Structure 1
Amino acid sequence: MPINESKQPIIVKKIIKKGGHHGGAWKIAFADFATAMMAFFMLLWILGATTEDQKAAISDYFNNPSVFMGIATSPSQTQGEGTGSKPSLVEFEGALDMGPPTPTVQESMLDPEQIEALAHEQDAARLATLKEILERKLELSDTLAPYKDQLLIDIVPEGLRIQIVDKEHRSMFDLGSAKLKGYTSDILRELGALINQVPNRVSLTGHTDARPLGGLSYSNWELSTERANAARRALIDGGMDPDKVGRVVGFASTIPFDKDNPNNPINRRISLIVMTRETDAAIHEENALLESKGEPAPSTQSMPATSPAPSIN
């Protein structure tokens, strides 16, 4: 006979927990939502509180962010004629495109004194960057490296100074002449291309040593001025905008590099200063004052206007 199996009832136990929770995921979602709403309301406030120029500056910043306001951190990727960009003679990784700064919304909200201080800081940073690039080119450029002991670069109160000095048996000009040596032209042309990358204008001065030329009608005053103008033309041939020239003067032997030895060849030099905004403004005011008195501005004059006896080469 079949064995009878006892059937046990199936018991389902339902446990109800009181005071339970759904975890913390909702808190993260709510925080994201609150942040998005805050950003949205800030955007509405900015759109309502800013001018069209400020909106354009904000847009420019997000399209072209940089440590310098409105300045790209890399040159244009399109190169060639008509593109506004050309290949560099020496490639510098991370080198800054040092064009004129574009005001941002933060700058436009500053008072005039703060804006002037900010502009001064930007100017100093731009010149310091140009100095670093020039120093690197002295090591890497086939044109500049052989003459790096004749290229002296430093920061002075007036701006970034670049001095090209004569050396024994290696002068920049033909003897007693304003005709540039071939390598001097190459140096100046390469410098002109670099200097043109910054908005600052330049001042050019010519200097000679204390050896007389041997004539009265043509002295070292005329020679130093003509040499400075020859340097100006070579810089422009290299790509520097002619409007960047703020002053061209000749000082003859009145400001020797080597004060202890007036005849030292190093005293024969061209000094090029990439001027600060303050220096440029001071020169502009001085020229305007002279013109108001009916006197010619010393843009291409020998300095001083009345030359002493001839004294250098």
Structure 2
Amino acid sequence: MTAGSNVPPIIIKRKKVVAGGGHHGGAWKVAYADFVTAMMAFFMLMWLLNATTEKQRKGIADYFSPTIAVSRMSGGGDGSLGGHSVFSENTLPRVGTGASSLRPSVEDKARGVDAQTAGEGEEEFKTVEEALMGRGGDALLEDNQLRHVQTRLTDEGLIIEFFDAPGSPLFTDQDKPTDLMRGLLRAIGRVADGLINKVAVETHVSAEPVVLTRNTVWASSARRAEIVREQLRISGLDEDRIVRTTAHADKELANYNPMSVRNNRVEIVFLREGY
């Protein structure tokens, strides 16, 4: 550029840009992490409620209950629940409905089963459970029999389930009751004297191989239901108290393997009023 030029000089101005507007701290990260943790705990809780049985949930509640154990089934204490868990017998949750004995579902109300009806016989059911399983002391059943028994309280009533174990069946291949099965049914006849409830019998069998030309699961479960009904009568249960027998064949499995021996089972149901 010459000294006599009238062209103005070009000035380049560089601006310093500060990105992000400065440091604001990481508190939001901590809050977000807490939120994610809480959501994970919530979904774990929902999964546990859906994937566990009533007995398993009570065991979990007892494990985390900050009480002093006074028995091997429940704790005692003077905390907010007085030593009871949220799954005690008077507030049994109903899986999938969100109802309880104090807040019956719409279906129960339609059948006339309200909170009072749902709670009737609860103590008697507990007494029967304790007598069979030995929770209050001596059991009516021996150790080799107890491994075949599960009990649970439902909206319908008290369900006593007998099931096969490997090498220890309840019925022979010809659907004849074994000595084990007869002994279990005699125990039912003894504890039934303490109840006035009607009784239902339900039988299930494992699936048969698909190579068979004729599937006999329906006939087999029906024969077993009739045999159980007759054996209960022989054991001292008034025949008029048995209001139904149901053969489920292999349609309601207890084990994911359709041919597992665990699917061979008998359910004796002491029904609540209204069922």
Give the TM bin, normalised by the shorter chain: 0.5 to 0.7
Misfit runs of 4+, over 6 Å? none
After TM superposition, the structure 1 = structure 2 runs for residues 96-135 of structure 1, keeping only pairs within 5 Å, are 117-135=115-133
Report the CA distance between 1:117 and its aligned residue.
4.9
Report the CA distance between 1:185 and its aligned residue.
0.7
C-alpha root-mean-square deviation of aligned residues, in Å?
2.4
Q: Tell me the distance in 2 between the aligned counterparts of 1:138 and 1:271.
A: 23
Report the CA distance between 1:266 and its aligned residue.
0.5
Q: Answer yes or no: is 1:253 the counterpart of 2:247.
A: no
CA contact (8 A) 1:163 1:271 kept: yes
Aligned counterpart for 2:152 among listed residues 154, 164, 169: 154
Q: Answer yes or no: is 1:275 the counterpart of 2:268.
A: no
SS in 1 for 2:208: coil
SS in 2 for 1:189: helix
Identity %: 21
Aligned residues: 162
**Greater Cα offset, 120-129 or 236-245:** 120-129
SS in 1 for 2:184: helix
Report the CA distance between 1:272 and its aligned residue.
1.1
Report the CA distance between 1:169 and its aligned residue.
0.7
Counterpart of 2:36? none
Report the CA distance between 1:132 and its aligned residue.
2.2
Report the CA distance between 1:278 and its aligned residue.
2.2
Report the CA distance between 1:172 and its aligned residue.
0.6
Encode CA deviations 1:132-185: one digit per residue, 9 max, x unaligned.
22221897347533221110111122111111100111101111x221001211
Q: Answer yes or no: is 1:201 the counterpart of 2:212.
A: no
Q: Tell me the distance in 1 between the aligned counterparts of 2:135 and 2:182.
A: 16
Letter in 2 for 1:168: P
Q: Tell me the distance in 2 between the aligned counterparts of 1:183 and 1:137.
A: 21
Q: Tell me the distance in 2 between the aligned counterparts of 1:221 and 1:178.
A: 12
Q: Rate the CA distance shift 1:125–1:210 in 2: closer, same or farther, 3 A.
A: same
TM-score by length of 2: 0.54
CA contact (8 A) 1:205 1:225 kept: no
Unmatched 5+ residue regions in structure 1?
1-114, 280-313
Unmatched 5+ residue regions in structure 2?
1-112
Counterpart of 2:181? 184
Report the CA distance between 1:118 and its aligned residue.
4.1
TM-score by length of 1: 0.48
Q: Tell me the distance in 2 between the aligned counterparts of 1:138 and 1:220.
A: 38
